[in-house]
Amino acid sequence: MRALRLASVAVAAAVLSGGLSACSSGGGGGTGGTADTKAAGDAIAGKVGDLDPRAALAASAVVMQRAGNGSLTLSTDSDTLTGAGDWRQQTAVDLAGKDKTSTKVRVLGDDVYLGGGPETTVVLGGRHWAKVLPKDPIVGSMSVLFLTMAQMTNPVLQLSAAQSGKLTKIGTETVGGAQATHYRAVEDTAKVAEGLTMLGGDQRAAVRQTLDAGGSTLTVDFWINSGQQLVQLKEYGDKGGEASAVTVTYAGLGAAPKIEAPAASDVGSGADLAKGFKF
């Protein structure tokens, strides 16, 4: 159970130290009404270099909304999770660590499922997943942490929320072997906190407290390719700086498998899962 505990805490801590600006735009996969469709048309027509940062982010939000899903890699300085994300009707992710004993995370809307290796299955009485709720002992806080992690991977939320921040065009760089334009958004954490409307009261309070502890601003870097697709983002708070950054990369847009809840017969409780945690 140690692998599940260490991986989940490492990723969740990193996400909450600098990965919350996605929460400043409520709802599911929408663009929050800020996307500029003309800018999107210009970008698709090959005029990426002519766009100012706000128009570039707005255009990319439109393109990513159209894609609807993709493959994801989420990395911190201590761990990496890979899998798929879907941001059409609701934010959903299905991510796993590098080996068979690593953490598995599946989030669909407000529902959070955690899994792991053989130790987890034993603790759960032969089941492979636990549905984790805020009220669950020990692991309850993880429902907030991983729900937030899922939201931060939603590119439409990220690109839309960032348009209200201070935007800068950094330049052209190579990401994944291809050229991409690098933009930076610096956002006020107080404004981010005001937008946590998609969370319930207890969840919102917990996330708000951690967000405030991370500093007064959040920095989000975006890398957008010539097709105005978001290929990578990196996010961190002003207290932790880049050392606390969470990086999300996107590939295979529009081709990710459907993300569904685990079979009910294969899902245990968060209370059972908590029995396997040793401190």
Per DSSP, the three-state class of 108 is strand
Strand 267-269 relative to strand 129-132, pairing? parallel
Burial (0-12, 13-18, 19+ Cβ within 10 Å), 238? middle
Q: Nearest to residue 165, comparing CAs of 188, 183, 181?
A: 188
Residue whose pair of structure tokens reads 């599946």 in the numeric block: 106
Domain-wise residue ranges, the chain: 2-274
pLDDT tens by residue, the chain, 279 residues: 444 444 454 555 444 443 333 333 444 444 344 444 454 555 444 555 568 999 999 999 999 999 999 999 999 888 899 999 999 988 899 999 887 667 899 999 889 999 988 888 998 999 999 999 888 888 887 887 888 788 789 899 889 888 889 999 999 999 989 999 999 999 887 776 665 566 566 656 666 666 677 788 889 999 999 999 999 999 888 887 888 889 999 999 999 999 999 999 999 999 888 887 765
CATH code that applies to domain 2-274: 2.50.20.20
Quote the pTM value: 0.82
For the chain, the distance separating the N- and C-terminal CA atoms, rounded to the nearest angstrom, is: 11
Q: Nearest to residue 217, comparing CAs of 44, 18, 45?
A: 18
Burial (0-12, 13-18, 19+ Cβ within 10 Å), 137? exposed
Q: Nearest to residue 95, comparing CAs of 223, 245, 210, 256?
A: 256
